């Protein structure tokens, strides 16, 4: 199976390069030999992970108090809803 690579062929400009072989050269890097199915050129490509970010997940209990998708609610309106539901302070 050959996988498409989102790079253009430097010889003919074909936008559908294919992977011929791919191997790991370290924890964060890989070397690939790719070919162009249009002009049959062969290219060596090196790829490395340069920057990684992880997601931060936030609990959103307010989705139970609104009747439309969260992204469609005005953020100022959400503050108003949570103020109404806070327990009274003594």
Q: CA-to-CA distance for 22 and 83, rounded, in angstroms?
A: 56
Q: Is 39 an interacting residue with respect to Zn ion (CB under 5 A)?
A: yes
In this complex, which beta carbon is closest to Zn ion, that of residue 5 or of residue 36? 36
Binding span for Zn ion by CB under 5 A among 20-28, 41-49, 50-58, 60-68:
41-49
Q: Is 34 an interacting residue with respect to Zn ion (CB under 5 A)?
A: no
Counting Cβ atoms within 10 Å, is residue 36 exposed (0-12), middle (13-18) or buried (19+)?
buried
Binding span for Zn ion by CB under 5 A among 23-31, 35-43, 48-56, 77-85:
35-43
Q: In this structure, are residues 62 and 82 in contact, taking their beta carbons and an 8 Å threshold? A: yes
Q: Is 28 an interacting residue with respect to Zn ion (CB under 5 A)?
A: no
Q: CA-to-CA distance for 87 and 54, rounded, in angstroms?
A: 35
Tokens of 1: 């199976």
Interface contacts to Zn ion, rule CB under 5 A? 9, 11-12, 14, 36, 38-39, 41
């Amino acid at each position: 199976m050959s996988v498409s690579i989102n790079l253009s062929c430097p010889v003919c400009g074909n936008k559908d390069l294919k992977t011929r072989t791919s191997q790991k050269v370290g924890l964060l890097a890989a070397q690939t030999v790719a070919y162009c199915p249009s002009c049959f050129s062969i290219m060596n490509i090196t790829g490395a992970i340069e920057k990684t970010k992880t997601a931060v997940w936030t609990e959103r209990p307010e989705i139970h108090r609104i009747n439309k998708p969260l992204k469609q609610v005005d953020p100022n309106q959400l503050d108003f809803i949570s103020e109404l539901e806070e327990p009274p302070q003594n």
